Amino acid sequence: MNLAFLEGKVYLFELCYLTMSEFVNILTEERQGILYLTINREDKLNAMNLATLAELRSVFDQVMDNKAIKAVILTGAGEKAFVAGADITEIASLNEVNARKFAESGQEIFAMIENCHKPVIAVTNGYTLGGGCELAMACHMRIATANAKFGQPEVNLGIIPGYGGTQRLTLLVGRGKANELMMTGDMIGAEEAKSLGLVNHVFPTKQEAISGAEAIIEKIMGKAPLAIGMVVDCVNAVFLEENGYQTEANSFARCVKSGDYKEGTSAFLEKRKPVFRGE
Ligand code: COA
C-alpha cells in the first residue's frame, strides 16, 4: 500500500491506488456485469476509516476503466449497519488543517461515485449514519431494508457532516427537513426516508433489497450506456454548487478547533454523554 500520512492520521488520498486484491475493508465480487461492493468492518458497524475511503477511491477508478463492469451495488456487511459513519477514533484526533483535508478528500471520493457514468445503487440495511448516509447519498439511488435508520448525528460530536452531507441532504429532502435532521441528529426510519425522497424503495429484507437493485440495473443495462452517462452528468449539473462544498469543508475544519469537538468525540469513545459548552 502506498499510503502517506498527513499529521499522523489523515492520508494523502492522491498517493493511494490499490488493486482490488489488496483491499482489506471492502469485499468485491463481480457477477454478470455488476460489481458488488461490501463495506466490511462489521464489528465496528462498518464505520469508514481512511483506509476504507482509499479503497473506495481505488475501486471507483477501476470501475470507470473496466468495460466488463456495467453497474455497482454498494452495501454493508451484516444485518446491523450499512455504515455507522466515519470512524470516530480517527475523527477524534483531527486538527483544523487536516480536518479540511479530511473533508475535501472524502468529498472528492464521493464526487467520483456521484459522477460515475455507470449506475451505482446503495442498498442500505440498518444504521446508515453520518458518513454512511453521505456515502449512500452520493450513490445514484438508495434502496433500503425496512430496518434501515438514516441520520446525520455529527452534532453529537461537536462537528458537522463533512463528506458533502450538508449539500446532498438539503438537495434531496429540502431545506427545512435537512436543517431538522442535521441540527437534532435524530435518526429516521426507512419509510420516512422514502417519504422524504431520501430513499427510492424499501424492501423487507436485505436479500430482497439487493434483488430490487438488480432489477433496476437489469433495466438500465438494456439502455444506451452513453445516454446513461449523460443522464448522470445532467442530473448532477442541476445540483452543482461548488461553494457549498467548500463552505462545508471550511466549517468542518472550524468545528475541529473547538472544545465541543474534543468533548463530543471523547464522550463517544468513553461511552458517556457529552457536556457541550459552546466553545
Ligand atoms: N466510528 C467508530 N466506531 C464506531 C462507530 C463509528 N462511527 N460506530 C460504531 N462504532 C463501534 C463502537 O465503538 C463499537 O465498538 P466496540 O465494540 O469496540 O466498543 C462497535 O462499533 C459497536 O457499536 P455500539 O455503539 O456498541 O453499538 P450500539 O448498537 O450500542 O449503537 C450506534 C449503535 C450506531 C447507535 C452507535 O454505535 C453510534 O452512535 N455510533 C456512532 C454514530 C455516529 O455518530 N456516526 C457519525 C460519525 S461522524
Q: Given this model, what pLDDT does residue 268 score?
A: 95
Cα of 26 vs centre of ligand 1, distance in Å, is: 18
Cα of 229 vs centre of ligand 1, distance in Å, is: 36
- The answer to pTM > 0.85 is yes
CA atoms in the 13 A half-sphere facing the CB of 85: 24
What is the CB < 6 Å shell around ligand 1?
Answer: 44-45, 47, 84-89, 91, 127, 129-131, 153-154, 156-157
User: Which bin fits 169, alpha (ψ -120 to 50), beta or left (φ > 0)?
Assistant: alpha
Question: What digits encode the pLDDT tens for the residues 23-77?
Answer: 899 999 999 999 999 999 999 999 999 999 999 999 999 998 899 999 999 999 9
- The whole-number mean pLDDT for each consecutive block of 10 residues of the chain, a chain of 279 residues, reads 43 64 92 97 97 94 92 98 97 90 94 96 98 98 98 97 96 97 98 98 98 97 90 84 78 89 94 89
Q: Which of 43, 45, 159 to mutate to test the pocket of ligand 1 (most atoms within 8 A of CB)?
A: 45
Exposure string over 259-276, b if 16+ CB within 10 A, otherwise e: ebbbbbbebbeeeeebee
Residue 134 catalytic? yes
Q: Given this model, what pLDDT does residue 214 score?
A: 98
Cα of 254 vs centre of ligand 1, distance in Å, is: 24
Neighbours of 80 (CB within 10 A): 14
Cα of 159 vs centre of ligand 1, distance in Å, is: 16
Supply 196's cell numbers. Answer: 422524504
Residue of 114, 154, 214, 248 marked catalytic: 154
Q: Given this model, what pLDDT does residue 17 score?
A: 72
Distance (Å) of CA 40 to CA 26, 90, 111: 5, 17, 22
Q: Given this model, what pLDDT does residue 14 score?
A: 52
Residue 214 catalytic? no
